[in-house]
Every structure is written in C-alpha cells, then in structure tokens.
Amino acid sequence: MLAIEADALRRTYTSRTGWPRSRRTETEAVRGVTFEVAPGELFGLLGPNGAGKTTTIKMLNTLLLPTSGTARVFGHDVARDPVAVRRRIGYVFGGDRGLYDRLSALDNLRYFAELYGVPARDQKRRIAELLDLVGLTGRERERVEGYSRGMRQRLHIARGLLHRPDVLFLDEPSIGVDPVAARDLRRTVADLAAAGTTVLLTTHYMAEADELCDRIAVIAGGRIRALGTPESLKSRVGDRDVLDIEAYGAGEEALDRVRRVPGVRGVSTEDRGAVQTVSVQTDRGAELHAPVLAALDGVRIGRVVSREPSLEDAYIAIVEEATASTEAPAPTEPPSSTEPPSSTEPSSSTEPDGVPA
Ligand SMILES: Nc1ncnc2c1ncn2[C@@H]1O[C@H](COP(=O)(O)OP(=O)(O)O)[C@@H](O)[C@H]1O
Ligand SMILES: [Mg+2]
C-alpha cells in the first residue's frame, strides 16, 4: 500500500480585500497536483515561495480540505477519514511556535506525549529514544527558551514523532537554522527515513533536497513541473555546461545581453554582499567564454569557472520553463539557494503556529 497518494489536488483560497467596498479575490494556490509516495520513501516538494508547498501539505495532513481532488494516507481518505489519517501522521512546520519556552525539552515532550495519548508506561522510553534520535540527550532538562533555532527544530521533530507516526510531514524544517545545525537536522531526517518512517519534506534549499530526497517534485505556480530522482532531474540539463562568473554590479541590462548570446540557455544570479555569482547555462561544448564576457562589457568581473550542471541548475531551468509557459504568477523568490539557510531568513507569513491538531 502506498504511504501517500495525491490525486488532482486543488485548493483555492478566497479572501476579501479592499475598503469600503470589499472585493473577493481568489488565489489558486494548488492547481491539480498528483503524486505518490511509497512507504519509507523520503520525498521532497521543492519550489519557490508561494509555489503551493504548504497548502499541499496541509491538505495531506487534514488541516485544509481540498477544493477538489482526493488524497489518501495509507489508504485513508484525508477528507472522509481525517481521524484515521491523523493517527498515522506527524508534522513539523518551520518557525518558532508550538513549544513551551518556559518548560524544559523533557517537560515539553512529557506534555505532548500525554496530549497525544502515548501510554504512560511507554512515555519514558519513547522520550529517551527520541531525544537520542534528535541529538538532544544531555540537554533535555534545559529550558527551551535557551535553545538555538536548530535545537528547537530538532525538538519539534521529536514532538512530531512521539506517537510513532508512519508518515512525517516536514515543512521547511531548516528555515532560519544556522548551517551547522542544518547539517545535523539533515542527518536526523536521514536517520528517520532509514529507520522506515516515510518523510515528505518541503524546502527551497536545493542542497538539502539533493542530499536527502529519494525523489523530488518541483512545484511552481501550484503545479508539479517535474518529478523524479535528483539524478534524473539533473539529467534534464545534462546537455548543458555552466559558467559561474563572479561579477560586481551586473544589472538587468547586462544580464539580458548575456541571455541573447547564441547558445546561452539560461542566466541566473545569486548575490552575496557586493559580489554576485552569475550562472550562465550554455549548450554543452559551446565554449561561450568570450562572447559571454563580451556581453558583460563594463561590468567588473572576478573569477570565471566552468562546471557541470547541478540540481540547482536543473531547478532553475524547470521553474523558468514553467513560468514562461503559463500565465501563472512568477515566483517571487529567486531560486538560487545552494547556500545553507541563514539565520536572517524570514519565515513565511503563511506558516501556521505548529500547534498539533
Ligand atoms: N490563507 C491563505 N489565504 C489566501 N491565500 C493564501 C493563503 N495561504 C496561502 N495563500 C497563497 O497561496 C499560494 C501558495 O501558498 P503556499 O502554499 O503557502 O506556498 P509555499 O508553501 O510553496 O510558499 C500563495 O500565493 C499564497 O500567497
Ligand atoms: Mg510554505
């Protein structure tokens, strides 16, 4: 039996805006999403902000009803049998809420174990196991208010696992977590999947998806644009080379000149302080060094490196094709985060408070 089946899921939000005469506005957040996840699989939903990842997860974990379409978790329909679904799932949202700051980690877990109906005789052992899994053994008597973002996130995962769910939903688990903690977090998630839990993870960090996921669905504008193993997604840009050019202040005009160079397939930029990395995807073997640099005439250039395409390049190509081919709103977040998450990353305003159902 499949762990998760999503079949033509759609969700439209209706909201009222404007004053004094309010207007109804409809947002088609998810526009027909279909995928399956096998038991024990670590499946990633990868996409820019506003792509519909959180909305998809909330339909699967019974927090939101689909506008149309169906979904099942281990055979239980999310709309018709939400109680059975909830028994099989746990979920963790990125962000800060959902834990009691004034309590220790241990007391938080005791409290939620009680709330989730973990039998009293199992609680102690289960909590010890989970503290160990998430690497918080030895710190469990400290108050959560003194915890770092990464430690909190790992405690959230422990909380989400108390009732031994078969499926864990992790929505942007590493948002706002420092790079070292994010690496620990990835290890925790990998261990979990190795132990047999099915994990559905959303992220907009490419490296995280590449390292962790068995399969990835790239979602943009409420639709799945590509689905496959990280390797198969990368092979979509296997006929390309990438030039990474360190630049200082290359504006849109200069980038457009690069886009028009024959043989150039895509251009993206990532800013890091004063330095930009301009990544230029070209046809394989096209040797476009000279014409590309000529197109950047007037821009100060640093190092230029030629490399093989990465998952991020595949992702950029997929999202660019998707937004070019539909009238779907363009993703607002530049899809260029190979960087580990930084602590300045704002958390999404649509994030729920993570308090368990
Ligand atoms: N409660 C809501 N009311 C209205 N629009 C919403 C609501 N939640 C999300 N949206 C909109 O739906 C779209 C998808 O959002 P979301 O599922 O949160 O995307 P993601 O998690 O990929 O960033 C966005 O355009 C977002 O603004
Ligand atoms: Mg989200």
User: Tell me, what CATH number does 165's domain have?
Assistant: 3.40.50.300
Whether residue 331 is predicted with pLDDT greater than 60 in this model: the reply is no
Give the ligand whose atoms come closest to the C-alpha of residue 175.
Answer: 2
Banded pLDDT at 260 (limits 50, 70, 90): very high
- Shared domain for 206 and 279, answered yes or no, is no
Report how far ligand 2's centroid is from the alpha carbon of 325 (Å). Answer: 23
Asked if 158 and 109 count as a contact pair (C-beta separation under 8 A), the reply is: yes
pLDDT score, position 96: 64
Mean pLDDT of 18-37: 91
pLDDT score, position 24: 87
Crossing angle, helix 179-194 and helix 149-161, to 10 degrees? 20
Residue bearing the bigger pLDDT, 342 or 61: 61
Whether residue 341 is predicted with pLDDT greater than 50 in this model: the reply is no
Whether residue 72 is predicted with pLDDT greater than 80 in this model: the reply is yes
- Shared domain for 45 and 193, answered yes or no, is yes
- Shared domain for 285 and 164, answered yes or no, is no
Closest atom, ligand 1, to C-alpha of 58: 17
- Shared domain for 152 and 246, answered yes or no, is no
In a domain, 18, yes or no: yes
Mean pLDDT of 251-275: 92
Whether residue 353 is predicted with pLDDT greater than 70 in this model: the reply is no
Give the domain extent around 216.
4-233
Instruction: Check which CATH number belongs to the domain holding 294 and give it.
Output: 3.30.70.100
Pocket perturbation via mutation, ligand 1, pick of 10, 13, 15, 23 by most ligand atoms within 8 A of CB: 13
Please name every residue paired with 167 in a beta bridge, in sequence order, or none if there are none: 89, 198
**Which residue has the CA at smallest separation from atom 12 of ligand 1?**
29
Mean pLDDT value across the chain:
88
Whether residue 350 is predicted with pLDDT greater than 60 in this model: the reply is no
Give the contacts of 200 (CB within 8 A, at least 6 positions apart): 4, 37, 43, 44, 45, 57, 60, 167, 168, 169, 170
Whether residue 345 is predicted with pLDDT greater than 50 in this model: the reply is no
Closest atom, ligand 1, to C-alpha of 47: 22
pLDDT digits (tens, 9 = 90+) for 155-212: 999 999 999 999 999 999 888 788 888 888 899 899 999 989 999 999 888 888 999 9
Report how far ligand 2's centroid is from the alpha carbon of 52 (Å). Answer: 7
Whether residue 246 is predicted with pLDDT greater than 80 in this model: the reply is yes
Pocket perturbation via mutation, ligand 1, pick of 15, 26, 27 by most ligand atoms within 8 A of CB: 27
Whether residue 141 is predicted with pLDDT greater than 50 in this model: the reply is yes
pLDDT digits (tens, 9 = 90+) for 197-218: 999 999 888 888 999 999 999 9
Report how far ligand 2's centroid is from the alpha carbon of 351 (Å). Answer: 6
Within 6 Å (CB) of ligand 1, which residues are found? 13, 15, 27, 29, 47, 49-55, 348, 350
In a domain, 341, yes or no: no
Banded pLDDT at 330 (limits 50, 70, 90): very low
How many folded domains does the chain comprise? 2
Report how far ligand 1's centroid is from the alpha carbon of 108 (Å). Answer: 30
Distances (CA, A) of 67 to 57, 77, 101, 216, 218: 14, 14, 36, 24, 21
pLDDT score, position 52: 96
- Shared domain for 225 and 244, answered yes or no, is no
User: For residue 97, what are its two tokens?
Assistant: 């809420």
pLDDT score, position 346: 38
Stated pTM of the model: 0.82
Pocket perturbation via mutation, ligand 1, pick of 14, 350, 351 by most ligand atoms within 8 A of CB: 350
Whether residue 43 is predicted with pLDDT greater than 70 in this model: the reply is yes
Mean pLDDT of 235-250: 92
Report how far ligand 2's centroid is from the alpha carbon of 45 (Å). Answer: 10
Query: Closest Cα partner for 335 from 356, 310, 299?
Result: 310
pLDDT score, position 339: 42
User: For residue 172, what are its two tokens?
Assistant: 């942007």
In a domain, 336, yes or no: no
